[in-house]
Amino acid sequence: MELADINTITVLGAGNMGHGIAEVAALAGYDVNLRDINEEFVQNGYDQIEWSVGKLAEKDQISESDADAALDRVTTYVDLADSVSEADVVIEAVPEKMDIKKDVYTELEAAAPDHTVFATNTSSLSITELANVTDRPEQFCGMHFFNPPVRMQLVEVISGAETSAETMDLVSDLAEAMGKTPVRVHKDSPGFIVNRILVPLMNEAAWIVESGDATVEEVDSTTKYGIGIPMGSFELADQVGIDVGYHVLQYMHEVLGDAYEPCPLLEEKVEAGNLGKKTGRGFYDYE
Ligand code: CAA
């Protein structure tokens, strides 16, 4: 398949990343099918896209008619088979748990046309292990966007052990067609490149607070104004979802060893359901 043959993109999962990726694809002119497991989740994702394109139009970053046209290109689904029946590419952004993703790929493999390319937005999990659930590991790769997708330029395009060169080329070209800058990652290791750097930074920040050496606000001031990243470590954890960072760390700890042991402070937030911006409370309050 060539880039020009891609018309319809299905995004599985309408959460933070899923709706953001769907928005980026719709703004780039693709027909987008957005699917989640119930009406409430998928409608919430659609509403977030509506809010976001509205914001972009309000700030003259796109025109009102482009915002309306992008929204018109998004169709919502609950039934997975219906959502992928005409998909050229499926971008999967379901929760960051190996078992959940494997179940989705089993269902997807049975439902998707033979030509469809599968791209996972996993933040850390093995592309090879996920690809092996399907009968098309050569048509499978990682396509890792960053939060918020509409604002972040980078996409990691990650090769699994059997990903073909054609699939890597196609998905890199697709990322460019979506206005992004792809970076190819040839080693399928936990966290790939960005999260291998960023998630331990969030974890170390949490360990500093856990040990009583500094407050959340003090650590954030230093990361923002001293290290020069746009958000403090805890603001960033709230932005990406504390649960997302925590699950990435658990996996890195399991595969890469003790240097990645998650700080209990993160676990406490996850167990309390205080996951960051998306729940209204994390390290900071958003209500
Ligand atoms: N769509 C449209 N508008 C949005 C938006 C979205 N998705 N998200 C925020 N905005 C709006 C805000 O509502 C705000 O609007 P108002 O001014 O009307 O209040 C405005 O954008 C803020 O924009 P600014 O440009 O003023 O803000 P900023 O310069 O601080 O940029 C940012 C915001 C791009 C998020 C910036 O803070 C940033 O780059 N942060 C770091 C994000 C980052 O590192 N992400 C990667 C996380 S790691 C990851 O995602 C990987 C993983 O697997 C865990």
Q: Which residue's alpha carbon is at the smallest distance from atom 24 of ligand 1?
A: 151
23-57 pLDDT, tens digit per residue, is 999 999 999 999 999 999 999 999 999 999 999 99
pLDDT the model gives residue 282: 98
d(CA 81, CA 108): 7
Distance in angstroms between the alpha carbons of the first and the last residue of the chain:
46
Q: Are 228 and 105 members of one domain?
A: no
Those residues of the chain that have pLDDT short of 70 are none
Q: Are 160 and 246 members of one domain?
A: no
Alpha helix segments (H runs only) across 138-223: 165-177, 194-210, 216-222
pLDDT the model gives residue 184: 98
In a domain, 190, yes or no: no
Cα distances (Å, whole numbers) of residue 54 to 48, 50, 72, 147, 194: 10, 6, 13, 18, 30
Using only C-alpha atoms, the chain has a radius of gyration, in whole angstroms, of 19
Which ipTM value was assigned to this complex? Answer: 0.93
CATH code (residue 174): 3.40.50.720
Q: Are 219 and 150 members of one domain?
A: no
In a domain, 220, yes or no: yes
- Lay out the sheet containing 74-77: strands in order across: 74-77, 31-35, 8-12, 89-92, 117-120, 140-144, 154-159, 181-185
Q: What is the 14 CA–ligand 1 centroid distance (Å)? A: 18
Which pTM does this prediction carry? 0.94
Q: Are 207 and 176 members of one domain?
A: no
- The total number of structural domains in the chain stands at 2
pLDDT the model gives residue 287: 79
Q: Are 65 and 163 members of one domain?
A: yes
Q: Which atom of ligand 1 is nearest to the CA of 198?
A: 48
164 is catalytic: no
| CB-based contact 192:124 (threshold 8 Å) | yes
d(CA 37, CA 44): 12
Catalytic-labelled residue, pool 33, 121, 126, 195: 195
180-189 pLDDT, tens digit per residue, is 999 999 999 9
Q: Are 142 and 259 members of one domain?
A: no
> Which residues on neighbouring strands pair with residue 77, listed in sequence order?
35
Q: Are 173 and 210 members of one domain?
A: no
pLDDT the model gives residue 182: 98
Among the candidates 156, 185, 214, a domain finishes at 185
247 is catalytic: no
Q: Are 140 and 203 members of one domain?
A: no
156 is catalytic: yes
Torsion of CA 186, 192, 19, 63, to 10 degrees: -70
Q: Which atom of ligand 1 is nearest to the CA of 150?
A: 7
233 is catalytic: no
**Other beta carbons less than 10 A from residue 28's beta carbon:** 18
Q: Are 52 and 7 members of one domain?
A: yes
| CB-based contact 52:147 (threshold 8 Å) | no
CATH code (residue 263): 1.10.1040.10
Q: Are 14 and 137 members of one domain?
A: yes
Structure token digits, residue 158 = 């990650």
Q: Are 55 and 94 members of one domain?
A: yes
Expressed as residue numbers, the domain containing 275 is: 195-279
In a domain, 285, yes or no: no
Q: Taking CB atoms and a 6 Å cutoff, what residues make up the pocket around ligand 1?
A: 52, 55-56, 123, 146-148, 150-152, 195, 198, 230-231, 236, 239-240, 244
Catalytic-labelled residue, pool 126, 144, 233, 247: 144
Structure token digits, residue 225 = 């104004």
Residue 36, C-beta contacts closer than 8 angstroms, at least 6 positions apart? 12, 13, 14, 15, 18, 42, 45, 78
Structure token digits, residue 112 = 């998707």
Residues in the chain: 287
